[in-house]
Amino acid sequence: MKCYYAPETEAHDPVFRLTHGKILRNAEQAERARLLLAGLDALSLPTEEPPEAPQAALEAVHTPQFLSFLETAWAEWQKLPDCGPEVVPNVFAQRSFATYPDSIVGRAGWHMGDTSAPIGEHSWRAARRAADCAVAAADAVLAGDAAAYALCRPAGHHTSADITAGHCLMNNSAIAAARLREGHDRVATLDIDVHHGNGTQAIFYDRADVLTVSIHADPNSYYPFFVGYAHETGSGAGAGHNLNIPLPRTTTDERWLESIAEGLARIAEFAPGALMVSLGLDAHEKDPLKGMQISWDGFRRAGEMIAAAGYPTVLVQEGGYLSPDLTTSLVSFMTGFLGRGA
């Protein structure tokens, strides 16, 4: 299985994070990549650097205005008097009645949905190369590979067409799904990150050609709070093409795996030509964000189930945070997915 990774992504190493009114170290640290690479090394899966994806692959998901903001925001921020080292919004647009401003402070509040995804000097380059990994993995599958993996960071599934959030900049998962659509009439997405894939849902919510399925901790008491409920099923042409399965934070292996089986059954009804999996590993019982109680054996069995579905599959790395257990979580999932036994 081809695995894609771009070393430039490690230069995105954000610092700022606001949690329960406290300023803390951001959870999306470059060390995450090293832990995941250690997992691939343990599996004897080498990585290759992706080529630069065409701009059209990004614009299939994101607005040109948003991409321009990501590329220029940090340099514009540095022109502010007494500015901080990262772009962190202090005001947010109420979009029901709002005008796009010239001020970089205002534009930050327009394009950034919360304070968890600060933009630093190297964030644009890292996000661009992460998206390149997602496109390269999709292209490998379109070229005939059964599966490919994109080690993307920063993550992506909380970002909509033009709003970042939740440690995410560009939506690598949605970019990969849109790329797969170039070779298939229908594409399904399966998000097993512990957080709801609200950005991916928003991007495809009114479309019938992309089915979105997300299995996640109940947003009534967990990020992203406002989106990810079972009653959200799609709109317009996309009605019935969005499935959310919110679960209690006490969820352990059996209920989680039953939910994955439910999601795969819906995907089978949809009969896609290819599958994109948002591979969050933060449902693990020892993940520092404490969203669920999934074991390594649960991840292995999930990998087996997803592989057994038999679709050409792109795996896009999403969450899974700083813990030595992250390495083993990736090994466990891939062991199941690649059929290497327990």
Ramachandran region, residue 99 (left: φ > 0; alpha: ψ -120 to 50; beta: rest): beta
Q: Buried b / exposed e across 236-264, counting CB within 10 Å, b at 16+?
A: eebeebbbbbbbeeebebebbbebbeebb
Stretch (H or E) spanning 177? helix 172-181
Distances (CA, A) of 188 to 4, 8, 68, 161, 195: 21, 29, 29, 18, 18
Instruction: Give a three-class secondary structure readout of 13-49.
Output: CCCEEEECCEEEECCCCCHHHHHHHHHHHHCCCCEEC
Encoded tokens for 7: 């070393």
Can you tell me which residue has the tokens 């999934």? Answer: 294
Encoded tokens for 262: 């439910």
* CB 258 within 8 Å of CB 287: no
CA atoms within 13 A on the CB side of 13: 10
> How far apart, in Å, do the first and last CA atoms of the chain sit?
19
Cα diameter, the chain: 58
Beta strands in the chain (DSSP E): 2-4, 16-19, 22-25, 47-48, 147-150, 187-191, 210-217, 242-247, 274-279, 313-317
The catalytic residue among 158, 167, 184, 195 is: 158
Q: Is 158 a catalytic residue?
A: yes
* CB 279 within 8 Å of CB 326: no
Dihedral sign, Cα of residue 100, residue 105, residue 111, residue 112? negative
DSSP type of residue 53: P
- Strands 274-279 and 242-247, by their bridges, are unpaired
Catalytically annotated residues: 158
